[in-house]
């Protein structure tokens, strides 16, 4: 290479390096500055944004989504008739009040007259009817809560909507926290006529993948289906705004481990997801301004015992397993700050049993005594009849540790437990018949609404046998009847008493080993100065959030 060429090459390399260096530096600052060259292509980045990591993908169409990320998005973009409280009750929201017929089969909701969609259209009873019809027709998302319940919906007048139910329900006003109200006019303006829903085309499904038709406190600013959802304030929100509430809210997927730690340290993410390793939370806890909280969200972890397959079809063996369980290690080392459950109703619900009513705690003497009464005792002790336990691989290493803890506990009794990790998809397939359902299966259950009846029905009613929600195969006619009766009782106290009675009956049968999960989440408390869920968790009082409602951003407050 000639000297002149060498000189050019060195100059070019230096120029590139210089330009790179100029383009680097503090990321957040440079992003807005760097973009200054093309101001029209930028959006404001400021202190008024909250960013939360969630699981991904995220579906923002109310007739499609029902996961955590979906719920977080929908409850911020859309309004509902009632709003959940942290004690398991609901408050009026878009509905100012409601009436229930004597037989609990008709609910009449009266709507506010000052609610407007992001499009500017007023929210009316017709929109409520449209939203329910759309949800039931598409049949996805939270439709499962309503599909067996709704007979018809009618807009009585502009601000009155009547729901007729196929069967009595004392808790329908709680279930409608999952009926997100869409702007009928906007949706119909954006349907794809080639869709499969007749005159409704695709019912707006394609458009609603990246847009909203809601009236909620936030509206879609940008939806990148592969990465994040960015929402911005609905400035004209009927509920108003208080100082410090986030101007923008961003939910972002796929940020884990080292990347999460890096982004949180740089202030690019404010709230972590809840499925990180303990090491990651410990590392996050050490960062300046970072706080790790553990939120009880009504989710419980269930070791479901197949009551129709040997040897767990024997109640004495199931009780022996419950007594052999090391609950302290489980609730401190494996799932820190999780509570030992008091039965099938998660703590936080008023109907949850008192700890004094729950008989199971680690007691090897009682476990041995129960095992002595088992007709399978000999086969169990000889290893001829091991217990098959499946844990869910998506549950991470903590579920595996839980499985090993069960194995260790039973080995103290001389009983062999074979453990297998399987993806949830395979577990769902296994759950379809008694024979393919393992003796013990580990499943996390999150209540979709604040109705204990829906929890009990999904978990222990015979109708749910064959699904992942009930791998116990309880099939107990008495419990079925008790649940069906309880959900029709209109009075809260009376209904809760009946739910508690069902819980006692289930505890007696010992089909499950329960753990009330606490979800660890790290957040930047220097920036997020008020996060209601974090505050309430610090009080130590029982509380419950319906899935996603810990992230109702309108109630958050950010530092100036």
Partner 1 sequence: MGISIAKRILTYVLVLFGLSILIFVIARVMPGDVARMALGPRTPEATVEALREEMHLRDPIYTQYFYWLGDIFKGDFGVSIISKRPVLDDIRIYLPATMELVLLSAVFTAFFGIVLGVLSAKYSGKWPDAIIRIFSYFGVVAPAFFWAVLVMLLFAYLIPILPSSGRIGPGLTEPAHVTGMYILDYLLAGNTAGAFDALKHILMPAVVLSFGGISQAARITRTSMTENMMKPYASAERAYGIPENKILFKYLLRPSLNSTISVMALDIAGAFAGAFLVEQIFNYPGLSRYCLQAMLNKDVFAVSAVVMVFGVIFIVMNFVTDIIISVLDPRVRLAARGEA
Restricted to residues 418-437, the positions that interact with partner 1 (CB under 8 A) are 422-426, 428-429
Nearer to partner 1 (CB atom), residue 423 or residue 491:
423
| Residues 489, 103 contacting (CB under 8 angstroms) | no
* Position among 111, 143, 380, 415 found at the interface with partner 1 (CB under 8 A): 143
Report how far apart, in Å, the C-alpha atoms of 182 and of each of 131, 293, 309 are.
Answer: 6, 34, 46
Piece of 144-152, 166-174, 350-358, 499-507 that binds partner 1 (CB under 8 A):
144-152
Computed on alpha carbons and rounded to an integer, the radius of gyration of the chain in Å comes to 26
Q: Among 10, 147, 156, 364, which residue sits at the site for partner 1 (rule: CB under 8 A)?
A: 147
SS3 assignment, position 240: coil
Beta bridge partners of 528: 558
The length of the chain in residues reads 560
Q: Are 330 and 336 in contact (CB under 8 A)?
A: no
What phi and psi values does residue 116 have, to the nearest 5 degrees? -125, 145
- Please report, as residue ranges, which positions from 365 to 424 form the binding site for partner 1 (by CB under 8 A): 422-424
Considering only residues 209, 332, 373, 418, which one is a binding residue for partner 1 as defined by CB under 8 A? Answer: 209
66 binds partner 1 per the rule CB under 8 A: yes
Min separation Cβ 95 and partner 1, Å: 25
Q: Are 261 and 62 in contact (CB under 8 A)?
A: no
Give me the phi and psi of 396, to 5 degrees please: 80, -170
Q: How many residues bind partner 1 (CB under 8 A)?
A: 65
454-483 residues in contact with partner 1 (CB under 8 A) are 467-469
With respect to partner 1, which residue has the nearer C-beta, 31 or 384? 31
One DSSP character per residue, 5-16 reads HHHHHHHHHHHH
- CA 344-348-351 angle, to 5 degrees, is 55
Does residue 197 touch partner 1 according to CB under 8 A? no
Q: Tell me: does residue 166 bind partner 1 (CB under 8 A).
A: no
* Cβ-based nearer residue to partner 1, 113 or 279: 279
User: Closer CB to partner 1, residue 226 or residue 354?
Assistant: 226
- For partner 1, the binding residue among 7, 120, 139, 396 (CB under 8 A) is 139
CB of 87 to partner 1, least distance (A): 25
* Segment interacting with partner 1 (CB under 8 A) among 17-25, 111-119, 181-189, 511-519: 17-25
If binding is defined by CB under 8 A, does position 288 make contact with partner 1?
Answer: no
**CB closer to partner 1 out of 26 and 539:** 26
444 is a site residue for partner 1 (CB under 8 A): no
The string of DSSP codes covering 390-442 is EEEGGGHHHHHHHHHHHHHHHHTTT--EEEEEE-HHHHHHHTTSTTTS-SEEE
265 part of the interface to partner 1, by CB under 8 A = yes
Nearest to 128 by CA among 93, 98, 154, 92: 154
Of 57, 195, 336, 490, which lies in the binding site for partner 1, with binding defined by CB under 8 A? 57
Distance CA 248, CA 253 (A): 17
CB-wise, 148 or 157, nearer to partner 1?
Answer: 148
Torsion of CA 349, 554, 540, 400, to 10 degrees: 70
**Between β-strands 228-233 and 218-224, what pairing exists: parallel, antiparallel or unpaired?**
antiparallel
Quick check: 549 and 84 in contact, CB under 8 A?
A: yes
CA atoms 405, 411, 413, 415: torsion sign: positive
String of DSSP letters for 94-132: SEEEEEE-TTS-EEEEEEPS--B-TTSPBP-HHHHHHHH
| Position 59 contacts partner 1 (CB under 8 A) | yes
From candidates 127, 268, 370, 472, binder to partner 1 by CB under 8 A = 268
**Smaller CB separation from partner 1, 178 or 554:** 178
Decide whether 275 or 315 has the Cβ nearer to partner 1: 275
Report in angstroms how near the CB of residue 328 gets to partner 1 at its nearest: 31
**Sign of dihedral through CA atoms 439, 447, 479, 481?**
negative
Name which of 266 and 538 has its Cβ closer to partner 1: 266
The verdict on 18 binding partner 1 (CB under 8 A) reads no
239 touches partner 1 (CB under 8 A): no
Binding-site member from 11, 89, 259, 373 for partner 1 (CB under 8 A): 259
Residue selected from 26, 194, 356, 539 as contacting partner 1 according to rule CB under 8 A = 26
d(CA 273, CA 166): 39
Q: Does 17 bind partner 1 (CB under 8 A)?
A: no
When binding is defined by CB under 8 A, the residue of 205, 294, 398, 461 that contacts partner 1 is 205
Interface residue list for partner 1 (CB under 8 A): 1, 19-20, 23-28, 30-32, 34-38, 41-43, 45, 56-57, 59, 64, 66-67, 138-141, 143-144, 147-148, 205-206, 209, 224-227, 250, 254-255, 257-259, 261-263, 265-266, 268, 422-426, 428-429, 448, 467-469
């Amino acid at each position: 290479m000639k000297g002149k060429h060498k000189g050019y090459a060195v100059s070019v390399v230096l120029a590139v390096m210089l330009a790179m260096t100029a383009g680097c530096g503090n990321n957040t600052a440079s992003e807005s500055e760097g973009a200054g060259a093309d101001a029209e292509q930028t959006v404001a980045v400021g202190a008024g944004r909250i960013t939360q990591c969630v699981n991904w993908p995220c579906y923002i169409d109310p007739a499609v989504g029902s996961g955590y990320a979906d719920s977080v998005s929908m409850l911020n973009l859309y309004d509902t008739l009632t709003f959940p409280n942290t004690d398991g009750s609901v408050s009026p929201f878009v509905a100012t009040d409601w009436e229930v017929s004597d037989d609990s089969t008709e609910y009449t909701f009266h709507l506010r007259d000052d609610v407007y969609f992001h499009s500017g259209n007023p929210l009316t009873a017709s929109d409520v009817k449209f939203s329910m019809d759309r949800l039931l027709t598409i049949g996805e998302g939270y439709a499962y809560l309503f599909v067996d319940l709704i007979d018809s919906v009618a807009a009585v007048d502009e601000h009155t909507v009547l729901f007729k139910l196929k069967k009595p329900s004392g808790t329908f006003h709680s279930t409608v926290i999952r009926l997100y109200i869409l702007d009928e006019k906007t949706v119909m303006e954006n349907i794809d006529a080639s869709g499969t829903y007749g005159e409704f085309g695709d019912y707006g499904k394609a458009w609603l993948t990246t847009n909203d038709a809601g009236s909620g406190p936030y509206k879609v600013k940008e939806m990148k289906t592969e990465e994040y959802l960015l929402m911005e304030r609905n400035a004209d929100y009927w509920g108003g705004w208080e100082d410090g509430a986030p101007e923008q809210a961003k939910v972002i997927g796929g940020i884990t481990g080292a990347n999460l730690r890096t982004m949180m340290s740089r202030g690019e993410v404010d709230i972590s997801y809840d499925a990180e390793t303990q090491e990651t939370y410990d590392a996050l806890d050490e960062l300046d301004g970072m706080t790790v909280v553990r939120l009880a969200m009504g989710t419980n972890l269930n070791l479901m015992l197949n009551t129709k397959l040997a040897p767990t079809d024997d109640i004495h063996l199931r009780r022996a397993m419950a007594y052999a369980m090391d609950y302290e290690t489980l609730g401190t080392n494996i799932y820190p700050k999780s509570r030992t459950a008091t039965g099938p109703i998660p703590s936080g619900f008023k109907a949850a049993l008192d700890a004094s009513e729950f008989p199971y705690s680690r007691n090897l003497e009682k476990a041995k005594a129960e095992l002595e009464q088992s007709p399978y005792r000999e086969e169990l002790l000889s290893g001829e009849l091991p217990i098959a336990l499946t844990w869910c691989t998506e549950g991470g290493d903590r579920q595996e540790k839980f499985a090993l803890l069960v194995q260790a506990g039973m080995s103290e009794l001389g009983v062999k437990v074979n453990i297998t990790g399987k993806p949830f998809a395979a577990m769902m397939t296994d759950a379809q018949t008694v024979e393919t359902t393992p003796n013990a299966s580990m499943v996390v259950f999150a209540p979709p609404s604040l109705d204990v009846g829906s929890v009990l029905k999904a978990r222990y009613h015979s109708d749910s046998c064959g699904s992942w929600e009930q791998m116990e195969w309880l099939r107990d006619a008495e419990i079925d009847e008790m649940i069906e009766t309880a959900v029709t009782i209109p009075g809260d106290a009376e209904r809760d008493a009946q739910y508690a009675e069902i819980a006692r009956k289930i505890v007696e049968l010992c089909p499950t080993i329960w753990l009330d999960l606490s979800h660890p989440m790290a957040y930047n408390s220097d920036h997020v100065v008020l996060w209601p869920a974090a505050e309430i968790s610090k009080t130590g009082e029982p509380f419950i959030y319906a899935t996603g409602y810990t992230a109702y951003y309108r109630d958050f407050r950010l530092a100036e």
